[in-house]
Structures are given as structure tokens and as C-alpha cells.
């Protein structure tokens, strides 16, 4: 089973979690919304599968390129 | 056929023999090692990139020969550079590359260079006004040169100058592909291009390699860590695009050149277009969220407007706040400069550099630019100021104002401040069309009210309430319809009409483009 790391494209803080472990997701789905520079920037999975882990919680700071979720295909 | 006694057949046989020796590159063993490293030879590369059978090699006999006492050729080491004339999509190109299988593609001490920095191949591109493709796989100078010559040379002396490479950038399209570990002179050659690409895994580029860095700073880095695509393309923007394989690299070079004219005296080639000009995608009416805090995919938006499958992104992984791409509208080549709300869309120094470079590329080759604006402003903050955001941001605007190619602004959403002004064609027709989602100004209302109405807010019995009231008042005035009434924006359109609207104007500007062919001279000092 392929383990896919989903990264934040931008530095900011976690604003909303849109998915939780166990959720089935498809490519293009929003997992997390990051607030950055007054914008809501979605973290989108490119691949479908099952959410294995969400590695951040609301209000957590995240850095560009940080792995924020794990999907299993 | 019996030979006439006057026949030159012995010499012709020798010529063919010498050609065969040249085709052996650095010998079977060196070629096998090269292949084992996941790389094609320069000859395989040229054949893989150019139209089948179109390569006419020049200088195949150059190299170092050994002779026996009777003057008979006993051994031959070809010059470590292969070049000539070829065709890509039917159009002539000058093409060349180092042969890494021969002494890692370093120079061989000929009177005239074949290519690499200057040399015949660059002269050919210059004299014939045809594009130049550099397939770079060489490490540059070697200390052995001093031994060979008996003296050391000043950099830039004699054959090592890049004056021709610099001239070419104003005349014909120049493409560089980094296909191996590249340092020194060849790395300079890679940069002196309109567009560059690097093969992931086998391509690295740096000013100096890991041993030099370790001696200088004690840092132990791999070639990939120092100059792989992660650094050179994604982080630094030293090289523009990444190829996942050599075949992908050839496909992308062909794609890039398909948008380019042969030289600055010609317009870019027009493709036949079976995508209807009046295609109006319904999804455009709802792609921009009503909340201006929410992001949307600008690449999807632009893809729905330009000719289907015509979008080719330049520097997709660097300076991502701005999207730069070549595309076609009704078959005619256009440049796309679009904000990227997926990463906030705020212009940082990297995005500013990217915008300026792309504007110059389009201007040089008479490619009109369509700007899709959703830009909240320049990146603020200490870090950004320390990186010279103002200088870089203003430089991008300066370059746009010096450009003479027509530009067309589509204000999709935000268009604020110094950075927003860079999305407006003040140097030309100053033609702006806005979507109903558009908003603009010196700075967003949300941030500006507190500063502009400080006293009034502080004096109010309920300051927070008063701030909200002023904000609501100003937001009403910010409707794009009010600006359109004042003809301070030329049009507000249904987003679905964007393609037919733009196509008609781009068709109409072709005569203007033909009127400004030729090299562009610029005066002044860039900020």
C-alpha cells in the first residue's frame, strides 16, 4: 500500500481540518485549510485513498513544504 | 565499377573511416559507462531531439589523431563537442552539445571552438538567424590547459568569451538543457538562454562542485544537494524547468520552440486551431469564490480560456505566486502572466524576478501578454524587505513599462498597490477588462481603514463599530460597476466571455506586432 505524504504549499497557521483519519478521499479533495496572509489556502491531495494521519491540529503553525497529512492509496 | 586512375576513392574511404571513428564517441567502454549512468550520448541526444534524419553534422573530423612513421592514421580521439544544423518541427536550428564520454566534455584546444561558449555553432545561429539549442554536459575548464599552452589565460580571453552568446539573446531563441553535472563555463552557457531545462537526477549545475565547497566551507554535500533540481530549479530559479527524463527534456524543448519565432524579425508561428473562438466555459462564472479570502485554481481558470492543451508553463516550481506560461489564442502565441491565489498570490522577490524575465522574453519575440490579476500586493515584512522586495517589485514594473509588446489586463479579483500596477499596461493601450469579482485600489479596504481614519475611529463612542461602518461604506464604492461608469476600467465582462473577447483583440493586434519586428534597443538603468 503506497504511503503518500501531503505537504502544505505555504507557510501559515492551520485554520480548519476538512478530513480526519479513516476518511476516504479522492484526488483534488481539500484535507486542511491553512490561513496565510489573510487568505484561506487549501491543502489538496493529488491522490485518492484513505486518510492515515492528520499531523497538525487547528491553530498549529505550518511551514512551506511541511508534511501535514498521510494518505494510503 | 572499375576505378579510374584519377579517382579520389582512397581519400573518400579514409574520410568515411574517420567519420566512423568520430561516431564511436569516447569508445565502447566510455559509452557503456555513460549509459549505465542513465545518460544518452550527445549523438543519441541530437537524434532524439531533432526531426528524424535531419542532422547535418559540421566538424566531424575535428579531434586529435595519431599517425605511424609512414603517416598512416593509427588512432583518433574526436573533439568532445558535436554540433551542426538540424530541423525541429521542420524549421532549421543550430544544435550542439559536449561529448561527456571524451574527457568529460572539456575543451580540446582547437584553433576555433566548435561550440560550448562561442564557437562555430553560435556563429551559425547568429549569422543565419536560427534558434540555438545547447545540450550541456560538460564541466568546463581544466588546469591541464596551462600545461598544454605553457601559460595561464585570463578568463574571458580568446575563445572563452561569451560576447556572441550575449548577442544571441537579442536575436534568436536560445535554449539550454542541463543534461549532466555542469560547472564553470558550461554553467554560464546554461544561464545565457531564453529558456533552460534540467534533467532530474542526472543534471546538476553549480558555480563550483562539492570538492571546492568542502575546501571553502567544510560542508560535505552531494552534487544533487548542491545543484540538483531541488536547488537550481525549485529554490533558486537558476534553471527554468525540470524534465523527468532525457526524452521528456527533448519533448519540452520541441514544445518551447513551437511557440518561438526563428528570430526577432519574424512573428511566432501560428498554429491551426480547432478550438472554437466562441467557446464560453460555464465553470468560469463560479470559479472565483465569493469570499475574497478563499483560493481557487488559476491554472484551471486560464486553461479554460486559452486554446485547449496549449498552456506550457515556464518556471512552474519557482516564484509560484506568479504563473508564467506560453499559450495560444485562436492559434496565435500569447504569454500568460497570472497571479496564483493557491499560494496567496502576493508578489515576493522570486515572483518579481520571474515576472520581469518572462515579460522580457515575450517582448523580445513579439508575443503579446495577457495578465490575469488577483494580486493583493507586494510581500510585506522584515524578511521580504531584507530581500529587496521594493527594488525587485519596481524592477518588474520598469521592465513592463519598457516592453513594447501589447498587453491586456484581465482583473479577475484583487489588483492592489505597487504590485497590482505591474499588471496594467501603462506603456501601451492601457486596456483593462474586469470580472464582476474584481476589486482594486492602493490597498485593500480591510487593511487601509484603520490607518486612514485613525482619529475618527478613536473618537467614536464604539471604535470597532465605527471601523466596520466605514469599511462597509468604502466597500460599496469599490464595486467594479462604479469604476466602469467612470470609464476608469474599460470594461466589466461576464467571465465566460473572456475567451471570445480576448481572441478578437489578439487577432486584431497582429498587424501591430508585424510593425515592430526586429531587435529591441532599451535605454536607461534598471532600478
pLDDT band (50, 70, 90) for residue B344: confident
Interface check for A36 against chain B (CB to CB < 8 A): the answer is: yes
pLDDT at B48 over 80: yes
Phi, psi of B80 (to 5 degrees): -80, 40
* Per-residue pLDDT at B103: 85
Mutate to test the interface with A, among B230, B290, B295, B380 (most CBs of A within 10 A): B295
pLDDT band (50, 70, 90) for residue B109: confident
pLDDT at B156 over 70: no
pLDDT in tens, B242-264: 999 999 999 999 999 999 999 99
pLDDT in tens, A8-65: 988 889 999 999 999 999 998 999 999 887 788 899 998 899 999 999 999 999 998 8
Range from B26-40, B112-126, B162-176, B434-448 carrying the lowest mean pLDDT? B434-448
pLDDT at B2 over 70: no
pTM score, whole prediction = 0.92
Q: Burial of B12 by CB count in 10 Å (0-12 exposed, 13-18 middle, 19+ buried)?
A: exposed
Q: Average pLDDT for residues B185-195, to the nearest whole number?
A: 93
Using a CB-CB distance cutoff of 8 angstroms, which residues of chain A are in contact with residue B230? none
* CB of A27 closer than 8 Å to CB of A59: no
Q: Average pLDDT for residues B446-454, to the nearest whole number?
A: 79
Q: Which of B152-156, B479-483, B495-499 has the highest mean pLDDT?
A: B495-499
Strands (E), B382-476: 407-416, 432-434, 439-441
Interface check for A40 against chain B (CB to CB < 8 A): the answer is: yes
* Per-residue pLDDT at B139: 77
* Per-residue pLDDT at B144: 67
pLDDT at B451 over 90: no
How is residue B86 written as a grid cell?
538540424
Based on its alpha-carbon atoms, the radius of gyration of chain A, rounded to whole angstroms, reads 11
* CB of B39 closer than 8 Å to CB of B179: yes
Calculate how close chain A gets to B342, using CA atoms only, in Å. 6
How is residue A27 written as a grid cell?
484526488
* Per-residue pLDDT at B363: 96
Interface check for A11 against chain B (CB to CB < 8 A): the answer is: no
**Residues pairing with B332 in the sheet:** B329
Average pLDDT of chain B is: 92
* Per-residue pLDDT at A57: 95
Between helix B445-452 and helix B463-477 the angle, nearest 10°, is 120
pLDDT at B101 over 70: yes
Range from B18-32, B131-145, B281-295 carrying the lowest mean pLDDT? B131-145
pLDDT in tens, B202-217: 999 999 899 999 999 9
Q: Average pLDDT for residues B162-182, to the nearest whole number?
A: 94
Q: Average pLDDT for residues B90-114, to the nearest whole number?
A: 88
* Per-residue pLDDT at B4: 75
User: Cβ of B295 and A36 within 8 Å?
Assistant: no
DSSP secondary structure letter of residue B235: I
pLDDT band (50, 70, 90) for residue B430: very high
Helix (H) or strand (E) holding B370: strand B369-375
Mutate to test the interface with A, among B230, B344, B447 (most CBs of A within 10 A): B344
Using a CB-CB distance cutoff of 8 angstroms, which residues of chain A are in contact with residue B342? 9, 41-42
pLDDT at B107 over 80: no
pLDDT at B160 over 70: no
* Per-residue pLDDT at B138: 86
How is residue B508 written as a grid cell?
486584431
Indicate the SS3 state at residue B206.
coil
pLDDT at B269 over 80: yes
Helix (H) or strand (E) holding B133: strand B132-136
> Distance (Å, rounded) from C-alpha B87 to C-alpha B365?
20
* Per-residue pLDDT at B426: 85
User: Cβ of A42 and B446 within 8 Å?
Assistant: no
Phi, psi of B67 (to 5 degrees): -125, 150
Q: Are strands B181-182 and B204-205 parallel, antiparallel or unpaired?
A: parallel
Q: Burial of A2 by CB count in 10 Å (0-12 exposed, 13-18 middle, 19+ buried)?
A: exposed
Percentage with pLDDT > 90 across chain B: 78
Based on its alpha-carbon atoms, the radius of gyration of chain B, rounded to whole angstroms, reads 27
* Per-residue pLDDT at B105: 81
Of A9, A10, A38, the CB nearest to B293: A38
DSSP secondary structure letter of residue B161: -
Mutate to test the interface with A, among B230, B287, B291, B293 (most CBs of A within 10 A): B293
Of A9, A38, A40, the CB nearest to B343: A9
pLDDT at B158 over 70: no
* Per-residue pLDDT at B153: 74
* CB of B405 closer than 8 Å to CB of B363: yes
* Per-residue pLDDT at B147: 75
Please, what is the end-to-end C-alpha distance for chain A in angstroms?
6
* Per-residue pLDDT at B142: 64
Amino acid at each position: 500500500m503506497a504511503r503518500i505524504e501531503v505537504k502544505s504549499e505555504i507557510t501559515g497557521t492551520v485554520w480548519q481540518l476538512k478530513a480526519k483519519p479513516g476518511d476516504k478521499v479522492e484526488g483534488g479533495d481539500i484535507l486542511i485549510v491553512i490561513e496565510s496572509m489573510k487568505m484561506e489556502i487549501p491543502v489538496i491531495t493529488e491522490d485518492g485513498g484513505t486518510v492515515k494521519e492528520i499531523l497538525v491540529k487547528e491553530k498549529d503553525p505550518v511551514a512551506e513544504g511541511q508534511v501535514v497529512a498521510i494518505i494510503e492509496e | 565499377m572499375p576505378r579510374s586512375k584519377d579517382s579520389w576513392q582512397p581519400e573518400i574511404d579514409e574520410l568515411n573511416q574517420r567519420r566512423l571513428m568520430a561516431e564511436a564517441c569516447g569508445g565502447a567502454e566510455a559509452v557503456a559507462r555513460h549509459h549505465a549512468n542513465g545518460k544518452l550520448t550527445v549523438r543519441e541526444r541530437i537524434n532524439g531531439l531533432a526531426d528524424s534524419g535531419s542532422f547535418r553534422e559540421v566538424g566531424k573530423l575535428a579531434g586529435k589523431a595519431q599517425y605511424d612513421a609512414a603517416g598512416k592514421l593509427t588512432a583518433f580521439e574526436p573533439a568532445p563537442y558535436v554540433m551542426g544544423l538540424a530541423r525541429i518541427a521542420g524549421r532549421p536550428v543550430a544544435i550542439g552539445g559536449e561529448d561527456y564520454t571524451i574527457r568529460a566534455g572539456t575543451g580540446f584546444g582547437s584553433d576555433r571552438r566548435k561550440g560550448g561558449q562561442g564557437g562555430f555553432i553560435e556563429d551559425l545561429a547568429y549569422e543565419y538567424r536560427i534558434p540555438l539549442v545547447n545540450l550541456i554536459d560538460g564541466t568546463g575548464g581544466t588546469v591541464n590547459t596551462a600545461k598544454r599552452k605553457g601559460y595561464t589565460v585570463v578568463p574571458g580571453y580568446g575563445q572563452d568569451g561569451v560576447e556572441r552568446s550575449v548577442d544571441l539573446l537579442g536575436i534568436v531563441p536560445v535554449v539550454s538543457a542541463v543534461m549532466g553535472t555542469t560547472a564553470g563555463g558550461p554553467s554560464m552557457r546554461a544561464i545565457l538562454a531564453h529558456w533552460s531545462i534540467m534533467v532530474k537526477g542526472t543534471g546538476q549545475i553549480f558555480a563550483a562542485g562539492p570538492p571546492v565547497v568542502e575546501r571553502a566551507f567544510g560542508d560535505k554535500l552531494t552534487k544533487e544537494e548542491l545543484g540538483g533540481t531541488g536547488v537550481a530549479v525549485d529554490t533558486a530559479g537558476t534553471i527554468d524547468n525540470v524534465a523527468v527524463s532525457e526524452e521528456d527534456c527533448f519533448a519540452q524543448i520541441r514544445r518551447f520552440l513551437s511557440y518561438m519565432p526563428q528570430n526577432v524579425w519574424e512573428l511566432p508561428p501560428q498554429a491551426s486551431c480547432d478550438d472554437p473562438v466562441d467557446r464560453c466555459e460555464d465553470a468560469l462564472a463560479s470559479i472565483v469564490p465569493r469570499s475574497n479570502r478563499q483560493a481557487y485554481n488559476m491554472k484551471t481558470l486560464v486553461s479554460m480560456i486559452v486554446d485547449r492543451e496549449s498552456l506550457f508553463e515556464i518556471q512552474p516550481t519557482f516564484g509560484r505566486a506568479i504563473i508564467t506560461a506560453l499559450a495560444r489564442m485562436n492559434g496565435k502565441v500569447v504569454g500568460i502572466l497570472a497571479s496564483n491565489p493557491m499560494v496567496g498570490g502576493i508578489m515576493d522577490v522570486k515572483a518579481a524576478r520571474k515576472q520581469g524575465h518572462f515579460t522580457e522574453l515575450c517582448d523580445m519575440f513579439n508575443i503579446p501578454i495577457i495578465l490575469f490579476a488577483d494580486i493583493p500586493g507586494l510581500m510585506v515584512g522584515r524578511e521580504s524587505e531584507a530581500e529587496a522586495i521594493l527594488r525587485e517589485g519596481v524592477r518588474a514594473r520598469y521592465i513592463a513599462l519598457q516592453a513594447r509588446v501589447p498587453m491586456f489586463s484581465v482583473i479577475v479579483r484583487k489588483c492592489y498597490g505597487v504590485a497590482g500596477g505591474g499588471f496594467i499596461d501603462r506603456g501601451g493601450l492601457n486596456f483593462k477588462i474586469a470580472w464582476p469579482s474584481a476589486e482594486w485600489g492602493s490597498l485593500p479596504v480591510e487593511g487601509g481603514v484603520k490607518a486612514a481614519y485613525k482619529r475618527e475611529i478613536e473618537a467614536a463612542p464604539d471604535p470597532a463599530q465605527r471601523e466596520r461602518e466605514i469599511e462597509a461604506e468604502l466597500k460599496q464604492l469599490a464595486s467594479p460597476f462604479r469604476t466602469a461608469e467612470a470609464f476608469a476600467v474599460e470594461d466589466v465582462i461576464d467571465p465566460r466571455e473572456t475567451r471570445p473577447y480576448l481572441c478578437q483583440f489578439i487577432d486584431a493586434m497582429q498587424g501591430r506586432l508585424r510593425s515592430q519586428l526586429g531587435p529591441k534597443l532599451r535605454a536607461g538603468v534598471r532600478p
